[in-house]
Chains A and B, each alone.
Chain A
Amino acid sequence: MQADRIGVLTGVHFIDGDFAAAEGAIAAGCRFAAGYPITPSTEVVERLASRFPFVGGLFIQMEDEIASSIAIQGAVWAGAKAITVSSGPGISLMAEHIGYAAMTETPCVFVNVQRGGPSTGLPTLPGQADVMQARWGSHGDYGIIALCPNSPQEAFDLAVTAFNLAERYRTPVMLLLDECIGHMLEKVVIPPADEIEVVPRKLTEKKPGEYLPYLPGENMVPEMVKAGMGHRFHITGLTHDERGYPVMTAAAQEKLVRRLVDKIRLASRDVALYEGRWLDDAEVVVVSYGITSRVVHRAVEVAREHGAKVGQLRLKTIWPFPEHLIDQVLGGRVRSIVVPELNLGQLVLEVERVVRGRAKVVPIGHAGGTVHEVGVIVEAILEAGK
Chain B
Amino acid sequence: MTTPVATREHAEGPARAEVPGCEPPENPVTKFLRTDRLPHIWCAGCGIGTSVNCFARAVDACKIPLDRISVVSGIGCTGRVAGYLRLDSFHTTHGRAIPFATGLKLANPELKVVVYSGDGDLTAIGGNHLIHAGRRNVDLTVICVNNFTYGMTGGQVAPTTPLQAVATTTPYGNLEEPFNLCHLADSAGAVYVARWTTYHVRQLQKSITKALQKKGFSFVEVLSPCPTLYGRRNRVGDGLAMERMFKERCVVKNGAATHDTAFDALAPGQIPVGDFVDRDRPAFLQRYNQTMRAQLGDDFMPYGEPEIDARAEADLFAGPEG
**Chain A residues close to B by CB (< 8 Å):** 1-2, 6, 31-32, 34, 52-58, 60, 62-64, 66-68, 70-80, 82, 96-97, 100, 200-205, 226-238, 245-246
Contact = CB atoms under 8 A, between A and B. Distances in A.
A53 B68 contact: no
A68 B100 CA distance: 9
Interface in B278-322: 288, 292, 296, 299-305, 307, 310-311, 313-315, 317-318, 321-322
Contact of A77 (B90, B128, B129, B132): B90
Contacts of B317: 200-203
A344 to B, nearest CB: 32
A70 B292 CA distance: 25
Closest 9 CB pairs of A and B: A74-B103, A74-B104, A71-B103, A75-B107, A78-B107, A67-B99, A78-B108, A236-B91, A75-B103
Contacts of A96: 93
B178 interface: no
B92 A80 contact: no
B89 interface: yes
Contacts of B305: 56
Interface of B: 34, 37, 66-68, 70, 72, 82-83, 86-93, 96, 98-108, 110-111, 128-129, 132, 288, 292, 296, 299-305, 307, 310-311, 313-315, 317-318, 321-322
Contacts of B37: 245
Given A226-B310, A231-B88, A74 B72 contact: yes
B40 to A, nearest CB: 12
A88 B317 CA distance: 36
B111 A63 contact: no
Given A55-B301, A66-B96, A205 B292 contact: no
B111 A57 contact: no
A230 to B, nearest CB: 4
A237 B79 CA distance: 12
15 contacts: A52-B303, A64-B128, A66-B99, A67-B99, A70-B93, A71-B99, A71-B103, A74-B100, A74-B107, A79-B108, A203-B314, A203-B317, A231-B88, A232-B87, A234-B91
A234 B301 contact: no
Contacts of A200: 317, 322
Nearest to B132: A63
B93 A97 contact: yes
A78 B91 contact: no
Nearest to B86: A232
A205 B72 CA distance: 24
A72 to B, nearest CB: 6
Contacts of B315: 205
Nearest to B307: A228
Given A78-B104, A78-B108, A232-B67, 9 more contacts: A56-B303, A74-B102, A226-B310, A227-B108, A232-B89, A233-B89, A234-B89, A238-B91, A246-B83
A379 B314 CA distance: 57
A6 B303 CA distance: 13
Contacts of A77: 90, 104
Given A70-B96, A71-B102, A232 B111 contact: no
B101 A74 contact: yes
Contact of A58 (B67, B100, B107, B299): B107
B41 to A, nearest CB: 10
A90 B102 CA distance: 20
A53 B304 CA distance: 12
A227 B68 CA distance: 8
Contacts of A73: 100, 103
Contacts of B300: 53-54
A62 B99 contact: yes
Nearest to A68: B99
B93 A67 contact: no
Contacts of A202: 317, 322
A205 to B, nearest CB: 6
Contact of A70 (B88, B99, B106, B108): B99
A55 B302 CA distance: 8
A58 B303 contact: yes
A63 B138 CA distance: 13
Nearest to B82: A234
Contacts of B105: 74, 78
Most buried by A among B34, B100, B304: B100
B92 A75 contact: no
A68 B90 CA distance: 17
A53 B301 contact: yes
Contacts of B299: 53-54
A256 to B, nearest CB: 15
B28 to A, nearest CB: 17
A74 B68 CA distance: 15
Contacts of B34: 234, 245
A67 B132 contact: yes
Nearest to A81: B107
Given A75-B103, A237-B91, A57 B303 contact: yes
A292 B226 CA distance: 58
A100 B99 CA distance: 14
B103 A34 contact: yes
Nearest to B321: A1
B94 to A, nearest CB: 8
Contacts of A246: 83, 91
Contacts of A236: 82-83, 90-91
